[in-house]
Amino acid sequence: MDFVNGLKQKDTVEIGDILTGDFKGKEIKIKGAVHTVRDMSEFSFVVLRRYDGLVQCVYEESKIPEFNSKVLREGATVEVTGTVNSEERAPGGFEIRINAIRLLSEPAKDSTMPIPISKWKLKTSLETKLSLRPISLRNVRERAIFKIQEGLVRGFRDFMFSQHFTEIRTPKIVAGNAEGGANVFKLEYFGKKAFLAQSPQFYKQTMVGVYDRVFEASPVFRAEKHNTTRHLNEYTSLDFEMGYIDGFEDIMDMEAAMLKYTFQFLEEEYAKEIKLLGITLPDVTNIPAVRFDEAKRLVSEKYERKIRNPYDLEPEEEILIGRYFKEEYNSDFVFVTHYPSKKRPFYAMDDPADTKFTLSFDLLFKGMEITTGGQRIHSYEDQVAKMVARGMDPNDFTNFLMIHKHGMPPHGGLGIGLERLTMRLLDEQNVRETTLFPRDVSRLEP
């Protein structure tokens, strides 16, 4: 009988091994994809691509006559045996003088790369880049974007765990939706009508009754018909929800602390990508917090802009609020608090001091909303009353109201749009740049 008992020692090395170990003058084996081949007269430079960087190899045809350099096409994968030499001009400060090559796989016969992925920056249109996503992501700069995104989620999760939040997994196929409205995807579910979850709202509130503090990083779905630079029809929402709060300020404090932790985590763990993409990590030591109505007044005064609707915030106003707090307080972030009750869902808690407003907030990052959060109603009677006042039937929400009926601590939470956060951090102009395989009104593939 054969037994499986864990990882085997391999005789190949990784780029990281070479950078940190003492391999100079030694023969090693390394695997990789052919990134570029540059034919010189006597020899060729063959650059291999691996997950953690590029390796320059030098191939002399005279040395391995049985191996024709023509085989070394971009996209082939190989195992190279060679001697490590210092070479300042090569990535990582070393190159490998090839003694032997073994071909592991080849691209299709007669295929040619549709875009020059080995160039530093892909100078193609976003449209082309997205249509060729499986290939364009092989570009070193493109893939660094999604390492940063990975780091943002890791930082978020690590911080949540450190604050005793429990990670939950809530269903994406649901019977009803928290946000309501028309922007919901419908599907046929064994003869019943079902929807895709616009957010884990009901479930995360529910789970506060179980674990006090919960979080989830998962896909949400919005059937938005707008085809803008900042909307997606499927995106990743970083959600948390916490009980026993003294007020919605506790939620903002938690988010500020999370961002601080996460940016520091990126600085430590993703230094390579930060350098590669030229990211300046924002300062989140002191994030200004301003009331919704006050924010509108401030930008209206400073930028001589008429307030058209006191209960709504236009995208242009968001941009101006961002600009105002950058100019006046040198902050890339600003919390806008006390959103009008009309603009918030039925589970939002109204401000007892003025019920036209809610105990809620958005977080703007460089003039764009990346977070919506706030305190929720915990009292059964209050929640039913607000539903009725909005013309909703509490009988449609029996499962949700079960938690209020049997007791909920004062609680609140927020949702962060991961792709938008990444977009703003990288100063990208379109949220599709920071989405692995974006879904929009006209894009369902790849």
Q: For residue 168, what are the CA distances in angstroms to 9, 152, 159, 203, 385? A: 36, 18, 15, 9, 29
In angstroms, the CA 366 to CA 333 distance is: 6
CA of residue 315 relative to chain centroid, distance: 21
Q: Given the complex with a copy of itself, which of 38 and 405 has the nearer CB atom? A: 405
- State the sign of the Cα–Cα–Cα–Cα dihedral 335, 336, 341, 344: negative
Residue 33 has φ and ψ, to the nearest 5°, of -95, 140
Of 84, 160, 196, 274, the residue at the interface with a copy of itself (CB under 8 A) is 196
Q: Given the complex with a copy of itself, which of 390 and 405 has the nearer CB atom? A: 405
Q: Is 344 annotated as a binding residue?
A: no
CB of 291 to a copy of itself, least distance (A): 9
Residue 408 has φ and ψ, to the nearest 5°, of -135, 140
- 8 Å CB contact between 34 and 78: yes
Of 26, 225, 342, 356, the residue at the interface with a copy of itself (CB under 8 A) is 225
Question: Which tokens is 222 given?
Answer: 């919005």
Q: Is 167 annotated as a binding residue?
A: no
Residue 252 found at the interface with a copy of itself (CB under 8 A): yes
Residue 18 found at the interface with a copy of itself (CB under 8 A): no
Q: Given the complex with a copy of itself, which of 61 and 150 has the nearer CB atom? A: 150
Decide: helix, strand or coil at residue 370.
strand
Of 72, 254, 274, 321, the residue at the interface with a copy of itself (CB under 8 A) is 254
Strands (E) located in 181-222: 186-189, 192-196, 213-221
Q: What angle do CA 331, 337, 341 make, to 5 degrees?
A: 150
Q: Is 232 annotated as a binding residue?
A: yes
Residue 404 found at the interface with a copy of itself (CB under 8 A): yes
CB of 297 to a copy of itself, least distance (A): 13
Q: Across the strands, what pairs with 173?
A: 196
Of 179, 249, 340, 394, the residue at the interface with a copy of itself (CB under 8 A) is 249
Peptide bond into 446 cis (omega under 30): yes
How many other CB atoms are found less than 10 A from the CB of residue 41? 5
The number of residues making up the chain comes to 446
Binding range to a copy of itself, per CB under 8 A, among 254-262, 274-282, 306-314, 426-434: 254-262
Residue 173 found at the interface with a copy of itself (CB under 8 A): yes
Q: Is 223 annotated as a binding residue?
A: yes
Residue 326 found at the interface with a copy of itself (CB under 8 A): no
Instruction: Compute how many residues bind a copy of itself; rule: CB under 8 A.
Output: 126
Decide: helix, strand or coil at residue 263.
helix
Question: Which tokens is 171 given?
Answer: 């269903």
Give the burial class of 393: count Cβ atoms within 10 A of its Cβ; 0-12 exposed, 13-18 middle, 19 or more buried: exposed
Binding range to a copy of itself, per CB under 8 A, among 38-46, 118-126, 161-169, 423-431: 161-169
Q: Could you say which residues in the range 47-66 bind a copy of itself, by CB under 8 A?
A: 50-52
Q: Given the complex with a copy of itself, which of 243 and 345 has the nearer CB atom? A: 243
Residue 388 found at the interface with a copy of itself (CB under 8 A): no
In angstroms, the CA 440 to CA 227 distance is: 7
Q: What angle do CA 19, 22, 25 make, to 5 degrees?
A: 105
Binding range to a copy of itself, per CB under 8 A, among 209-217, 314-322, 342-350, 424-432: 209-217
In angstroms, the CA 248 to CA 221 distance is: 26
Of 76, 96, 148, 321, the residue at the interface with a copy of itself (CB under 8 A) is 76
Residue 74 found at the interface with a copy of itself (CB under 8 A): yes
Residue 316 found at the interface with a copy of itself (CB under 8 A): no
Q: Is 222 annotated as a binding residue?
A: yes
Question: Which tokens is 49 given?
Answer: 């691509």
What is the per-residue binding string for a copy of itself in 91-130, x denoting contact by CB under 8 A?
-------------xxxxxx-x-xx----------------
Residue numbers in the known binding site for L-aspartate are: 179, 222, 372, 376
Residue numbers in the known binding site for ATP are: 222-224, 230-232, 369, 417-420
Residue numbers in the known binding site are: 179, 222-224, 230-232, 369, 372, 376, 417-420
